[in-house]
Amino acid sequence: MDIAAFLVNAIRGGLGNLAAYLAAHVLLCLLPAFYIAGAMTALIPKESVTRFLGRNTRQAVSYPAAALAGGLLAVCSCTIVPLFAGIYKKGAGIGPAITFLFFAPAANVLALVYTGSVIGVDLALARFFLSLAFGIGIGLIMALLFRSEDAAHDAATSQMFAAQSVKGISRSALIFLLSWIALLLFGTLKLDFLTDSYLNTNLPLPGAQEFQALLDRLVPFDAGKGEEGISLQGVILILLLAAIGLASWRGFERIHEGFSAWTRAAIALIGWTLLVAALNMQSTPTGLRVGFTGKFFGVLLALAVLFQLGRAYLSDDALRDWLWESWRFVKQIFPLLVVGVFLVGVIRVLIRPEWIESLAGSNTPLGNLTGVAFGVFMYFPTLVEVPIAQMFLRLGMHRGPLLAYLMADPELSLQSILILSAVIGKLKTWTYVGWVALFSTVAGLIYGAWVDGMSLGVVVLYLALFLTLLGLALWLVNPRNNQLDAKQGQTF
């Protein structure tokens, strides 16, 4: 293959991956996450976040609470970053926030159930327990390494949100936030009552099937390779997403100057586009078959509640603050997401499947590091990584490196690294990346040793020894940090 053909193939892979991602994952996954993050920042008092996730909250409360909150959200690494940014900006400690960031995509309920049904219950259980232990461990380590920065961040958020009420979250704001979370769950959960169509109609659209065939050639669909393809509905959604971007830029950029026609157009477009995304559209020889799914009615209900709350119970100032904070997250995160998803598509073209057996065919440190590397450069959205893992097994990957891949893939995608660095800074981001890579490798080695015949008791002993050493290191470091904080306090 000459250089020109190689570059064309790589660019096509990047654009195809980006188009498939925008069509399938941005609207019902990422878009609600932006507005949830904006609501947490604008409407939720800091004390409501720090009560459970603050740096001064008891560790026995904050870290399990962070893991529990993350485990209930069936989201991928790109969707969890805006939510992480929302709680972190509102005063959550870096440790609990990192535990939330790690655990949510790695071991949420839906991912665990799907992993168990497709690959095996043993791997699903290993994924849960090791993700829980190591997610809390990484959070504790980050809290210790960046203790002084965390204290400064806490003080800064206290000053930033000093004008907000300290009486706690209002009932209307809480219902507003929960309605957005419900909308997110309606859009992401793969349950039969949500995905089944209850009403169907046919729209006459000549040439729909031919256009779909063209799309299939441009952006191939192959579930075994993680290629999601793009449908006619996906093209419609991308065009609507572009319209939302234009209207939001014109309507939200100066939202504090007042609501405008562009503001109302952006809000209307968001609602209509979310409903279109929840439909089931299929190209047929006579046109377009549209199915009204349970997801559609769930999203419609959530939007109706949100509209009523916004109109009747939230003040204009609260609405403006919410829209501005959501738009600020979009501007900060979305461009990096686009770049990252495109680069991942380009890199996928370079990686050959036959490398898997030669590099990750045995439970060695190199094999597990290879699994982690595949998680970074072959990122797949949540649930898509499970059939990909099944493909890796068929190609000869050992189950130990496979677990390392399943723990790293939701955490260390190239785009999430780019986005995270914009939220917490490069030093914290690469420190987090290093610990996730190390812990994922250790998890793969421990589970792989059990697969290769090591008794469960010895495996548990190794894990307990690792956690004990970690706990001992934390116990030794804590008094020193307390003394350092006391000395710093005396200097002020």
**pLDDT at position 335:** 86
Averaged pLDDT for residues 201-226: 80
Q: What's the count of helices (H) and strands (E) in the chain, helices before strands?
A: 23, 5
**Bridge partners, 199 (sequence order):** 292
Report residue 489's pLDDT band, with 50, 70 and 90 as the boundaries: very low
Tell me the pLDDT tens digit for each residue of 218-276.
Answer: 887 765 555 677 888 889 899 999 999 999 999 999 898 889 999 999 999 999 999 99
**pLDDT at position 423:** 87
**pLDDT at position 77:** 66
**pLDDT at position 490:** 43
The helix/strand/coil state of 288 is: strand
What are the CA-CA distances from residue 35 to residues 22, 29, 31, 180 (Å)?
Answer: 17, 11, 7, 7
Tell me the pLDDT tens digit for each residue of 47-60.
Answer: 777 778 888 888 88
Residue 281 φ then ψ, to 5°: -110, 135
Q: How many residues does the chain have?
A: 492
- Considering only 24-28, 80-84, 416-420, 435-439, which range has the smallest mean pLDDT? 24-28
- Considering only 159-163, 295-299, 356-360, 465-469, which range has the smallest mean pLDDT? 159-163
**pLDDT at position 227:** 66
CB neighbour class for 280 (10 Å; exposed up to 12, middle 13-18, buried from 19): middle
Report residue 406's pLDDT band, with 50, 70 and 90 as the boundaries: confident
Per-chain mean pLDDT for the chain: 82
Averaged pLDDT for residues 322-351: 82
The helix/strand/coil state of 198 is: strand
Report residue 484's pLDDT band, with 50, 70 and 90 as the boundaries: very low
Residue 291 φ then ψ, to 5°: -110, 130
Averaged pLDDT for residues 466-489: 61
Instruction: For 298-361, give the DSSP string.
Output: HHHHHHHHHHHHHHHTS-HHHHHHHHHHHHHHHHHHHHHHHHHHHHHHHHHHH--TTHHHHHHS
Q: Is the pLDDT higher at 488 or at 197? A: 197
Q: Where are the beta strands (DSSP E) in 130-285?
A: 197-204, 221-222, 227-228, 280-284
Averaged pLDDT for residues 172-177: 88
CB half-sphere exposure, 11, CA atoms < 13 A: 6
Burial 403-419 (b: 16+ CB within 10 A, else e): bbbbbbbbbbbbbbbbb
CB neighbour class for 315 (10 Å; exposed up to 12, middle 13-18, buried from 19): exposed
Q: Is the pLDDT higher at 342 or at 225? A: 342
Q: How far apart are the first and last CA of the chain?
A: 66
Report residue 190's pLDDT band, with 50, 70 and 90 as the boundaries: confident
Averaged pLDDT for residues 359-374: 87
